Amino acid sequence: MIAAEPYLKTQRVAEALGISVSTVKRWVDSGMIRAARTAGRHRLIPCSEALRVAREQGFPEANLQLLTGRMAAPTKAAEHDPLDLLERLLREARGPEARTLIHSLYRSGWSAVALGDDLIRPVMERIGHGWMVGSLDVYQEHEATQIVADALRDLVDRVGRDRPEAPLAIGTNPEGDPYVLAGLLCELVLREMGWSVRNLGCNLPLQSLAQAAVHHRPRLVYISVAYLGDEDQFIREYQSFFARAAAVGSAVILGGQALGPGIRSRLIYASHGERLAHLAEFARRLAPVSPAGTPEHPEVA
Ligand code: B12
């Protein structure tokens, strides 16, 4: 049965392709991928077979190299320092490996709050510093952002579906603010906690956010502000937004680098957070809901 080629465990194939072990097992059991069985009934997949299916499924070259061992699995290297590894992968725009790293850390137990507060924020700070000192160009900031945003959107799609009985949160970054990562992370944190979420993206006039609050009557509105062009205009628009959101019973939580204590002292809000951990705690108090998936982590299929 065993020909002169390496046979891979389902765990190894899953890690290399950035998918879950149960998906690989399903592929084997459905006959989509040929495999042998050990005496203990464990599935062993010929490397050529894994490569054939990975190519058919359109996985990028980098994942194929991970399969054949021509490239070290990021998780191994990440055992040392995931921040250093993610920074390097983003600086070199190695999207598939960065995505595999973020997903494998999530699968290995990092919560959405930890991914945001302890990995993505500090690594993006380093990317920002690279831009500031000229070792990185603006396009590389955009590239890094897109790579992380795509990886997060995958997780958001798999972590939590909207449930009619779940409390609803809506969120955005205001007009003139193009930042997307904090909003995606707020969505991932809330979905992981079992909330339904309407992530309205970035650059949304607050007057329109007020419309959305009146229409959806959300339990929670989160606003992330990473960039403020005109502070006075923002405060004016925010006050009329807040009045309408409060009128439909929505609790407003603010956050983001551009909202320093000075400007916050001129705003009314239910809560403010420096970290996603603060959002999670506020949401937990506001509406204790059961997480969408299993106690540890929903199956990131
Ligand atoms: C990526 C990036 C960009 C990208 C954004 C791409 C995109 N679509 O998202 C682009 C290239 C567009 C950009 C543009 C600019 N940028 Co910029 N950017 C960054 C960078 C590198 C990362 C930001 C990021 O996404 N971080 C990841 C998120 C997850 O972290 P975070 O925002 O800190 O969020 C955390 C907390 O604040 C909190 N949080 C955030 N929101 C919320 C909400 C709630 C409810 C709660 C509870 C918590 C919370 O939790 C998060 C996780 O811990 C930062 C560097 C840095 N230090 O952050 C510079 C940075 C913010 N940019 C900066 C600047 C100056 C600019 C520009 C003005 C440059 C220019 N001259 O054009 C423009 C302004 C924007 C514009 N109008 O165009 C400066 C800001 C300096 C300052 N203090 O004002 C920084 C700090 C870079 C630097 N080192 O100088 N930028």
Structure tokens at 53: 């299916």
Query: Dihedrals φ, ψ of 103, to 5°?
Result: -70, -40
Structural domain spans, the chain: 1-59, 72-159, 163-286
CATH architecture of 72-159: Orthogonal Bundle (1.10)
Confidence at residue 297, expressed as pLDDT on a 0 to 100 scale? 47
Nearest to 183 by CA among 156, 143, 161, 163: 156
Helix axes 181-192, 138-159, angle to 10 degrees: 20
The confidence score (pLDDT) of residue 4 equals 62
Q: How far is CA 59 from the centre of its chain?
A: 20
The answer to whether the CB of 145 falls within 8 A of the CB of 180 is: yes
Residue 129, ligand 1, Cβ within 6 A:
yes
Residue nearest to atom 90 of ligand 1 (CA): 132
How high is the pLDDT of residue 299? 45
Q: What is the pLDDT along the chain (301 residues), one digit of tens a residue?
A: 445 678 888 887 877 776 778 888 898 998 899 998 888 888 899 888 888 888 887 776 667 776 776 555 444 554 558 999 999 999 999 888 898 889 888 888 899 999 999 999 999 999 999 999 999 999 999 999 999 999 999 999 888 778 889 999 999 999 999 999 999 999 999 999 999 999 999 999 999 999 999 999 999 999 999 999 999 999 999 999 999 999 999 999 999 999 999 999 999 999 999 999 999 999 999 998 776 544 444 444 4
Pocket test for ligand 1, best of 127, 133, 145, 155 (most atoms within 8 A of CB): 145
| Beta strands at 220-224 and 168-172: parallel, antiparallel or unpaired | parallel
**pLDDT at position 71:** 53
Read off the pLDDT of residues 96-124 as tens digits, 9 standing for 90 and up. 889 888 988 888 889 999 999 999 999 99
End-to-end Cα distance, the chain: 30
Cβ-count burial 116-139 (b if 16+ within 10 Å, e if not)? bbbbbbebbebbeebeeeeebeee
From the CA of 86, how far away is ligand 1's center (Å)? Answer: 17
pLDDT at 298: 44
What topology does CATH give the domain 163-286?
A: Rossmann fold (3.40.50)
Tokens of 156: 């958001």
Sign of CA dihedral 24, 28, 29, 32: positive
Which pLDDT does position 121 carry in this prediction? Answer: 98
Among 124, 137, 225, 252, which is best to mutate for testing ligand 1, by the most ligand atoms less than 8 A from CB? 124
CA angle (62, 28, 298) in 5-degree steps = 70
Digit-coded pLDDT (tens) for 263-295: 999 999 999 999 999 999 999 999 987 765 444
Domain with residues 1-59, CATH architecture:
Orthogonal Bundle (1.10)
Report whether residue 121 contacts ligand 1, using a CB cutoff of 6 Å.
yes
- The confidence score (pLDDT) of residue 109 equals 84
pLDDT at res. 112: 96
**Closest alpha carbon to 136 in 175, 88, 207, 206:** 88
Cα dihedral 202→205→206→207 (10° resolution):
-150
**Measured between alpha carbons, how far is 264 from 195 in angstroms, rounded to an integer?**
26
Nearest atom in ligand 1 to the alpha carbon of residue 183 is 41
Distance CA 266, CA 254 (A): 13
Closest ligand 1 atom number to CA of residue 144: 1
pLDDT score at 1: 44
* The length of the chain, given as a count of residues: 301
